[in-house]
Amino acid sequence: MTNVEKLFEHSDASQAVESELSAAPVAKPATLKRLKLFAGLVATVAVLGGGYYAYDTFVASKHATTDNAYVGADVAQVTPLVGGPVREVLVDDTRHVKRGDVLVRLDDTDFKIALARSEAAVSAAEANLIKAKIDLQRRRALAGSGSVSGDELTTAEDAFATAGANLRAAEAAHQQAQVDLDRSVLRAPVDGVISERQVQVGQRAQAGTPLMIVVPLQAAYVDANFKEVQLAHVHPGQTVTLTSDLYGSDVVYTGRVVGFSGGTGAAFAVVPAQNATGNWIKVVQRLPVRIALDPKQLALHPLQVGLSMNVDVKVAS
């Protein structure tokens, strides 16, 4: 090797040592930075995990919540028990009514005629009964002397019994005619709000045909559809807090758990699930839970049937 080559080799080696020395101080801070970032990530995950565990242990485990809940009520259908032309309709949708208020009047002409006929029939039956009673008394008076045969006495007794039965039948027909006349006036069965009115003046109402419904909003309740995995610690009588989408979080209702439905929504569906098939996939079911509301709060902030509710059941002992 020549002196020139040795000189170049020495120069390259010197440059390599200098580059390693210059890179070493840079690599060390980068490694420390990565370690710090990894430690920060671990600490963040640990804090989040600990916070979630604490929340689940001290807060979430003491509550069962769902937003799959809706307002319901036991609505009362207004259906005529007798048929006839509609003479007058006194209410319309959204109208508040009290129990006993007149809603619809049917034409009562036919019912009044039937009542008058039944009264006449009762009078005739009473007259026949009086006549049969007098005949029976006369024959009984003569039976002791032998002037009246036993057959005549038996006939008189049968006639008296028949007249009594006819009178009772006439009185029953009269009562039925009076009931039919009274039923020509349809009244509100409960306090509530008129909905789904389907009757008009001049229409011929048929017995059993729904004309409208009365919704008792003062007795509204909530059906909350909880997942089955949430119901292990839910029991009747527990306190419930509710908010509605109508009023928002500013209005908080209080209630209590009344009980559980007899089956899930899938069990009572029109087309129930066929879980015996080969392609069965397990789906978490929901069970309706009935919740009673405070009537005083309902009076201050009324709710309508079908509104969405947010439900929070306090399950802590």
Rounded CA-CA distance 266/262 in Å is 12
Question: Tell me: the pLDDT tens digits for 270-311?
Answer: 888 777 777 778 888 999 999 999 999 999 999 999 999 999
Residue scoring higher pLDDT (145 or 253):
253
Q: What is the pLDDT of residue 283?
A: 85
Within a 13 Å sphere around the CA of 129, how many CA atoms are in the beta-carbon half?
16
| Alpha-carbon separation of residue 130 from 124, 134, 136, 137, 219 (angstroms) | 10, 6, 10, 11, 55
| Alpha-carbon separation of residue 269 from 68, 272, 305 (angstroms) | 17, 5, 21
| Alpha-carbon separation of residue 18 from 8, 11, 29 (angstroms) | 15, 11, 19
- What is the DSSP-derived secondary structure letter of residue 290? E
**For the chain, domain boundaries:** 62-73+217-314, 76-214
Residue of 59, 58, 52, 104 whose CA lies nearest to 83: 104
Rounded CA-CA distance 88/103 in Å is 8
Say yes or no: domain 76-214 is CATH 2.40.50.100: yes
Architecture of domain 62-73+217-314: Beta Barrel (2.40)
For strand 248-260 and strand 221-227, is the pairing parallel, antiparallel, or unpaired? unpaired
Asked if residues 176 and 99 have their Cβ atoms less than 8 Å apart, the reply is: no
Rounded CA-CA distance 69/112 in Å is 50
Question: Tell me: the pLDDT tens digits for 58-116?
Answer: 555 677 899 999 999 999 999 999 999 999 999 999 999 999 999 999 999 999 999 99
Rounded CA-CA distance 3/7 in Å is 6
